[in-house]
Amino acid sequence: MYNFEFEKPSTIADAVAALAAEDAQALGGGQTLIPTLKQRLAAPSALVSLSGIAEMQGVCVNDDGSVSIGGATTHATVASEAASSYPALAALAGQIGDPAVRNRGTLGGSIANNDPAACYPAGVLGSGATVVTNNRQIAADDFFDGMFSTALDEGEIITSVRFPVPQAASYQKFLQPASRFALVGVFLARFADGVRVAVTGASEDGVFRWSEAEDALHKEFRADALMDLRINPANMIADLHGSKEYRAHLVGVMTKRAVATCM
């Protein structure tokens, strides 16, 4: 590690002002940033902790039935407080990492980092959620911009995420047991006007929607509707944990499991 300034503002406005300083970096739960600092892969002049901003924490149900979750809300809090309002999302949060990670990591930090194997990007994209920042609202379909990249501008803060609640939803995760990241994870949400299927852990481009599966399931919502569909393995991740073809196969398997749990 090295010397840097540390600030812990209590309001969004103060956090935005602090992040305007040269080389300042926002700090959520620190589950990615702190190891990065330890390895000297990043060297911000100041860390601006978002954990002290009360308006960025907690889970609430809006008048329209959607669920808003503060950007600084931990995975453990989502797992417990969203269990009655959005069970599938709560179940997703409860599968992230281990208890230490779930009690420090945050929703905003996870999707801002956009790790290609993280769970929350699939939940946000699969739900068709809206990412709310300090100065705008971004639809999930426009937010994720490839591996470790998003639509966020420099110094922009995710204050909350608003999730429409589907008729049924499920997150199916084939985890890598050492890291507990998703080797492949599929979040499926069934709405009155269609089905959304978001896949994480599989693609070199990061989280994505499987549109062919969505179309098939909208016509006929059953696992057999996916029988003849195959994911092209060309852009899948290949590493010591699995080949491109293996991950492509798992996408189909986990999507069918998600359908089965929603029946």
Domain ranges within the chain, ordered by starting residue: 5-163, 168-262
Output the pLDDT for position 102. Answer: 96
pLDDT, average across residues 66-95 = 98
- Partners of 48 in the β-ladder: 7, 26
The Cα–Cα gap between 53 and 9 comes to 7
State the pLDDT confidence band at 179, using cuts at 50, 70 and 90.
confident
pTM over 0.85: yes
Q: Which CATH number fits domain 168-262: 2.60.40.420, 3.40.50.300, 3.65.10.10, 3.30.390.50?
A: 3.30.390.50
State the pLDDT confidence band at 33, using cuts at 50, 70 and 90.
confident
Output the pLDDT for position 34. Answer: 82
Q: Is the pLDDT of residue 2 over 80?
A: no
* 133 φ/ψ angles, rounded to the nearest 5 degrees: -110, -175
Class of the CATH domain delimited by 5-163: alpha beta
Output the pLDDT for position 4. Answer: 84
The Cα–Cα gap between 75 and 102 comes to 5
pLDDT, average across residues 36-59 = 90
pLDDT, average across residues 62-76 = 98
Output the pLDDT for position 41. Answer: 78
Decide if 199 contacts 210 (C-beta within 8 A): yes
Output the pLDDT for position 40. Answer: 81
Q: Would the CATH topology of 5-163 be identical to that of 168-262?
A: no
**pLDDT tens per residue, range 226-261:** 999 999 999 999 999 999 999 999 999 999 999 999
Q: Is the pLDDT of residue 1 over 70?
A: no
Output the pLDDT for position 173. Answer: 98
Output the pLDDT for position 36. Answer: 85
Q: Is 40 left (phi over 0), alpha (psi -120 to 50) or beta?
A: left
